[in-house]
Amino acid sequence: MSQRITRAQIPLEEMTIVPGSACQGCGAALASRLTFKALGPNVIRHGIPCCPDAVTKHPRAGAVFEGGGASLTGTARGLKAIGRTDIKAVGFFGDGGVYDIGFQGLSAAAERNENILVICKDNEAYMNTGNQRSSGTPKYAETSTNPIGPRSRGKETQKKNVPMIFAAHYVPYIATASVAFPEDLIAKVKYARDLEGFRMIIIQSPCPVGWNFDSAKTIEVARTGVQSGMWPLYEIENGTSFKLNYKPKELKPVVEYLKPQRRFRHMTEAEVNEIQTYVAERWQKLVKADEVHQVII
Amino acid sequence: MSYEVMVGNKACATGVKLARVKVASAFPITPQTTITEYLSDMYAAGEFDFDFVNVEGELTSQVVVQAATAVGARSFTCTSGPGLLYMHHPMQETASKRLPLVMAVVHRGVKGMQPDHSDLMSQQWQGWIHMYVENAQEILDTCVMAYKIAEDKRIRLPVAFGYDGYVLSYTAEPVEIPAQEEIDKFLPPYKPMPSILPGEADPATFARGFGDADPQKPWKIHHEAALMAETVIKEVFADWAKRFGRSYGNGMIEPYRIDDAEAVITAMGTIAGSAMSAVDKLRADGKKVGLVKIRSFLPFPRTDFREIAKKIGAFGIIDRSCQPGMGGPTWHQMRSTLYDQPGPQILGFYAGLGGKEVRVDDIVKIGEKTLKAARGEKVEPLVDWV
């Protein structure tokens, strides 16, 4: 598991190229900045169609939308073939490219235990095309393809549990992270960088435009998400060992997370309670898993 | 140099080995399947130093070899029919990134499992070089030569070479295997251009997009490179003929008994083999019919056909695919090629679609009809189904 670091241990050297073309308050841009700081320069960055987030100095390999897992595989195998395993093949993909259209290729890469690092900047919808739902969208969130109306209460189902699905491939390392917890994020990226085999980190990346909140509040929204149990921070090794990285004595009520975001503004008290119950039940399992250091699902 | 009786798919895998491919990736599909098995056997036995990536679908195999080629590992993939259609999306990118990948397409039609050329013909807009080969020896030789063509700095384009499924993929023929040392002299190690490795990559190429270049320019450059392939193909095939004593015409076309011909049939792939026998039969009857096997469909052998057209009265074009509502792609290309010069009549014949058997006598009839047209007789219809 990753080792805790302090803020003073965060690398000073920036890898991002400024000015960028991300929106104000973009969580994904911050995720990119922190991730690539932690990774350093010896990386080929892989992208697929997604929001611009923050461009870095690394050489970039692009692939078709569904080709994230495959292009990382090809790079890693090619680097091995030419004797350059010092260079890391890293993907920085959105939730569309990880949860949905790119899911098959990534699952296959995980099953083959390719020597690749997949970072998902999860902003919970297809933000590049204007906030259409993904399978990473949480229940009741309004998106441009889940407008609220007499026949719709927003997204119909819960968010796909992608970290646990990938953990069930029994790969070396799976973690969740948040832009509001940079030390934790950087420690995980550094730890994952130096492991062999398939590693995946899913970073909560609030989107002020799609989630519809004040762009000055990105970190607050992200932090409340973690503190309320909506976005738990954890690590899983080899599909079995489990560690919960953030354990407050008491969770904040989910309403504190939901309320500042206009994508949830239509929710009734009953709907909020439903989410509260769902989160509380999941949280209990995670705490229990942490106690026994084993994945429980 | 050695000899072995082998099926087309083994000749292909042997070509991959001789070319010292570093990364191969494929998903099995009939009739390509046994290439993946031969490569797996070679990998398991450590027959040569390469990595074989067993993937979950053709789209992934195309992207894997794309990325491996980009970092500097010579790569190979192969597929058939529907598998090629599944690769359609990333194939465009392989060519746009100017990655010198080589792919074998073991023809399987898209309306059934039997062979025709509708799979590779459907990929004409992808920006690849398309070759069609006739026998197992030509598969092996083309596989090696394709790397030399693809990696030539003047073009840097992926090459797909197609051969008919079943009748060629699973049919054993004696094949001459060139010595590895001779191949190594012919085909130098692959160096990617430009480099994508950290510290070597030009940020203008691989990092943020800079500049305000004309967005049409990549198309223009790509088109010019594809046209330039004609020169490169002819050079590479001439070099091969000199070194290994085997030639396939000039690489673009392989003519057979056309010198004094009044009419010329064109064919691609295995049909060209039957067409040779048909030409011999016609000649035995005193009918001056020749054959041109089209080896390179993309780029189309325009220069060669414009020369041949000056000397003959009619072309009989055999198409093993049909674009519904548009027609036979080879017939269309030939008419477009010869539009600007007074020339022969151009008849079209659909043959072998959906794997329909094409017999020597069918081609004899094609030859007789084309000869009639060459002598100025009226023939109906202009395009017919054999």
Q: What is the CATH number of the domain that holds B334?
A: 3.40.50.920
Candidates B366, B347, B163; CA nearest to B275 is B366
Range of the domain at B332: 253-385
Given B244, B267, B301, which residue is the final one in a domain?
Answer: B244
Same structural domain, B160 and B57: yes
Judge whether B371 and B379 are in contact, CB under 8 Å: no
Asked if residue A102 has pLDDT above 60, the reply is yes
Q: In this structure, what are the phi and psi dihedrals at residue B189, rounded to the nearest 5 degrees? A: -60, 150
Give the residue carrying structure tokens 């692009």.
A62
Nearest by CB: A82 against B67, B73, B199: B73
The chain-wide mean pLDDT, for chain A, equals 97
Same structural domain, B240 and B261: no
State how far the Cα of B222 lies from the Cα of B229, in Å rounded to an integer: 11
> Which is more confidently placed, A18 or A155?
A155
With bands split at pLDDT 50, 70 and 90, how would you rate the model's confidence at B82?
Answer: very high
Other CB atoms within 10 Å distance of the CB of residue A15: 22
Segments making up each domain of chain A, as ranges: 7-292
Same structural domain, B108 and B257: no
The DSSP string of B143-177 is HHHHHHHHH-TTT---EEEEEETTTTTT-EEEEEE
Candidates A115, A113, A144; CA nearest to A131 is A144
Given B226, B244, B262, which residue is the final one in a domain?
Answer: B244
State how far the Cα of B296 lies from the Cα of B292, in Å rounded to an integer: 12
At residue B210, the pLDDT reads 46
State how far the Cα of A71 lies from the Cα of A87, in Å rounded to an integer: 15
- DSSP 3-state of B55: coil
Could you tell me if A265 lies within 8 Å of chain B, comparing CB atoms?
no
Q: In this structure, what are the phi and psi dihedrals at residue A161, rounded to the nearest 5 degrees? A: -85, 70
Same structural domain, B233 and B287: no
Same structural domain, B305 and B202: no
At residue A20, the pLDDT reads 83
Which residues on B lie below 8 Å from A104 (Cβ)? Answer: 56-57, 60
Same structural domain, B201 and B345: no
**Which one-letter DSSP state was computed for residue A211?**
I
The neighbouring-strand residues paired with A110 are none
Tell me the per-residue pLDDT of B26-42, one tens digit each, with 9 for 90 and over. 999 999 999 999 999 99
Tell me the per-residue pLDDT of B244-289, one tens digit each, with 9 for 90 and over. 999 999 999 999 999 999 999 999 999 999 999 999 999 999 999 9
Give the burial class of B330: count Cβ atoms within 10 A of its Cβ; 0-12 exposed, 13-18 middle, 19 or more buried.
buried
State how far the Cα of A20 lies from the Cα of B351, in Å rounded to an integer: 57
State how far the Cα of A283 lies from the Cα of B12, in Å rounded to an integer: 56
Same structural domain, B177 and B262: no
With bands split at pLDDT 50, 70 and 90, how would you rate the model's confidence at B206?
Answer: low
Judge whether B221 and B287 are in contact, CB under 8 Å: no
Q: Tally A–B CB contacts below 8 A.
A: 136
Tell me the per-residue pLDDT of A10-49, one tens digit each, with 9 for 90 and over. 999 999 988 888 999 999 999 999 999 999 999 999 999 9
Both tokens of residue A170? 């029994």
With bands split at pLDDT 50, 70 and 90, how would you rate the model's confidence at B372?
Answer: very high
**Distance from first CA to last CA of chain A, Å, rounded?**
20
The DSSP string of B89-100 is HHHHHHHHTT--
Give the residue carrying structure tokens 């080995």.
B17
State how far the Cα of B349 lies from the Cα of B346, in Å rounded to an integer: 10
Judge whether B9 and B32 are in contact, CB under 8 Å: yes
Look up the ipTM and state it: 0.95
Same structural domain, B164 and B289: no
Nearest by CB: A75 against B22, B67, B90: B67
With bands split at pLDDT 50, 70 and 90, how would you rate the model's confidence at B212?
Answer: low
Same structural domain, B203 and B262: no
Given B191, B209, B244, which residue is the final one in a domain?
Answer: B244
Same structural domain, B37 and B16: yes
State how far the Cα of A65 lies from the Cα of B364, in Å rounded to an integer: 50
Same structural domain, B112 and B207: yes
Candidates B280, B271, B305; CA nearest to B133 is B271
Nearest by CB: A67 against B50, B90, B207: B90
Lowest mean pLDDT among A83-97, A114-128, B154-168, B200-214: B200-214
Distance from CA of B46 to the nearest CA of A (A): 14
Average pLDDT over residues B340-344: 91
With bands split at pLDDT 50, 70 and 90, how would you rate the model's confidence at B211?
Answer: low
Same structural domain, B234 and B349: no
Q: Name the B residues in 62-81 with CB < 8 Å from any A CB.
A: 62-73, 75
Distance from CA of B354 to the nearest CA of A (A): 31
The DSSP string of B292-333 is EEE-EEES--HHHHHHHHTT-SEEEEEES--BTTTB-HHHHH
Asked if residue B208 has pLDDT above 50, the reply is no
For chain B, what is the domain count? 2
Strands annotated E in chain B: 2-7, 23-26, 51-54, 75-79, 102-107, 129-132, 159-164, 172-177, 253-256, 263-267, 289-294, 296-298, 314-319, 345-350, 383-385
* Nearby residues of A130 by Cβ (< 8 Å), 6 or more positions away: A144
> Which is more confidently placed, B203 or B1?
B1
Under CATH, domain A7-292 is a member of which superfamily? Answer: Thiamin diphosphate (ThDP)-binding fold, Pyr/PP domains (3.40.50.970)
Percent over 90 (pLDDT), chain B? 94
